[in-house]
Structure formats: C-alpha cells, structure tokens
Amino acid sequence: MPSNEFGATMPATGFLDTIKEQIREASGRKCSAPFCRDPLTYYNAGVVILGEIAHIYGHGFGSARSHLLPLGMDPHCYANGISLCRVCHRMIDRCPELFPAELIFLWKAEAENENSVQSRAFPPSMIPPAYDLRAEFPIVSEFLGLFAPFLIFMHDLYYSGNGKNRSTSVLPVSTEVLNSIRAGAMALGQYRNKVPVFFFQHPPFRSWASEIVRGAQAVRTMPEFALLNDTPYWVDFHYQIVVVDSDGTEDLSFSFSTGRAMRELYLQIRRFERYVNDLPFHGMPAGLRLGF
C-alpha cells in the first residue's frame, strides 16, 4: 500500500479505515443511492465484499469530478466519501455528466438523515392496508414503454459493434428515439383526468422512476440534441473495452459525453426492469413482464 508524506501506510482507496467505518455507520450500512439502498456486507478485518467507499470528488488525475475538488479540501476526508454498492460506485464514476457532485452529496445527506436518531420512528404509511403491489406493475410497464425506441436503439448499438471503430462510431439518432427520451423526461408531469399517470405508492418504484426521469432530462439537454428538427441527430458513440477491476471485469468506456450519458440511462432502465422482474411476488402474466 502507498505511504503518505509522513511515512504512514494509507489504504489503497486513500480513506483511513476509521473514516470508512464512520461513513458506513452514518449511512446505515446501506448503499446511499436512493433507488438502490442495498445492504452492504463487509468483514471487520476491512475487506469489503459488497460495499465500497467512493470519492465524490475523484482523487486521481482524470478521475470523475476531480477537477471540481475545492481548493484545500482533502480528497480523503469524511465529507468527500459516500457509501455505495459496487454497481452504483462504478455508475457514478463512469458518467459524471449524469451524476454531478451536488447530486451525490444530496444522496449522502438523505441516507444519513434516514439513519439518524430523529428519523428512526416510522412515519405514518401512505400505503393502504389492502394495497397489492402487483397493481402497479402495469403502470411500471407503461412508464418504461415510453423509452421503447430508445432501448431498441441502444440494444442495436451494442450488438452492431459500430462504436468500437472510429470510422463507424458516429451514428444518427432518429427523432423517434429522441422523442422517447423527451417523453420519459416529462413522465412525472403527465396527468390523466387530473390524476398523475405515473404515480407509484411503492417507495422503491418512486425512487427508480425519479432517477430515470432525471437521467432522461439530462440526456435530452445534451448539445447534440439542442436543435428541434425532423432530421437525425448525429452522436459519436465511440467506446473502448477496459478492465475496471482487479478480477478482470471489463466495461465499456465511452469517449464522448453524450454517448456516455445515453448508455448510462439505458443501464439504469435495465436495472429497474431487473428489479421489478426479480421481485419474488411478481405474479404477472408472461405477456406483461417487462423487457424490450
């Protein structure tokens, strides 16, 4: 492990073990991403199994959000750390365009507030006693159906391999695809008979829907999509396959911000699909199961 200027041995991530423990304890030993909240398991010896302490402002040259680190702030201090699962840690570092520091600080504050002594009393439940979660699955399906053209486009992009080559990585994004992103970005503002179309009583569904809508709002404002016209929008989806972990795990590293943001939105939607489809009491007919 590296040493600091005083010769003390520092952890590989830069955070002291005592600071890691403080961050974990403050967040309730759960992932701080509001739509995730997976419990984090680790050994007392310090070997993290499912949870990681991530830097909000990256601590290395070229790291996510590292150029925004306030002058004089220690990148390895408590304030700059957040407890996340491995999936969410990679997510925020892969695409800083969709996950700015202000958002991640908000996640941390909300997670700590939920775990605070003042918040441990359960608030009155908004869910009726006779509530059946399965009643919300068709609404989830309709919500994700807004993104169908976008999901198909990104699926085809992966399997075509066009993004691997500079000569084929600039691709047209049709108006239909962009309109599906715009529709998703406005989903929570849609009303039918003066009632919100996509209102979810199940808190995890609400959190996931809010996150996906936020991502869609960020994608639709990317520079390539600034003009309103009926012609295709050209986006460079060039990517490289990189090793992201010591165990040899590979991932795609997109060279340009719009391609990165679109890919991350796609992954978020797929994560929500898996979350719903994996619920043990799913109970939906095969024709209503999510997926495009």
Looking at residue 54, what is its pLDDT?
94
Cα-Cα end-to-end distance for the chain:
46
Q: For residue 12, which amino acid is it?
A: A
Residue spans of the domains in the chain: they are 17-119, 133-288
| pTM of the entire predicted model | 0.83
Looking at residue 200, what is its pLDDT?
85
Q: Render pLDDT for 140-166 as a digit per residue (tens, 0 to 9).
A: 999 999 999 999 999 999 899 899 999
Judge contact between 76 and 15, C-beta under 8 A: yes
Task: Say yes or no to pLDDT of 80 above 90.
Answer: yes
Model confidence at 266, in pLDDT bands (50, 70, 90)? very high
Instruction: Count Cβ neighbours within 10 Å for each residue of 155-186 and write b for 16 or more, e otherwise.
Output: eebeeeebbeeeeebebebebebbebbbbbbe
Q: Calculate the average pLDDT of the chain.
A: 84
- CA-nearest of 147, 229, 221, 210 to 181 is 147
Q: Render pLDDT for 223-262 as a digit per residue (tens, 0 to 9).
A: 999 877 777 899 999 999 988 777 777 888 999 999 999 9
Cβ neighbors of 185 (< 8 A, separation 6 or more) are 213, 216, 217, 219, 220
Model confidence at 11, in pLDDT bands (50, 70, 90)? very low
Q: Render pLDDT for 174-186 as a digit per residue (tens, 0 to 9).
A: 999 999 999 999 9
Q: For residue 109, which amino acid is it?
A: A
Q: Is 276 exposed, middle or buried (0-12, 13-18, 19+ CB in 10 A)?
A: buried
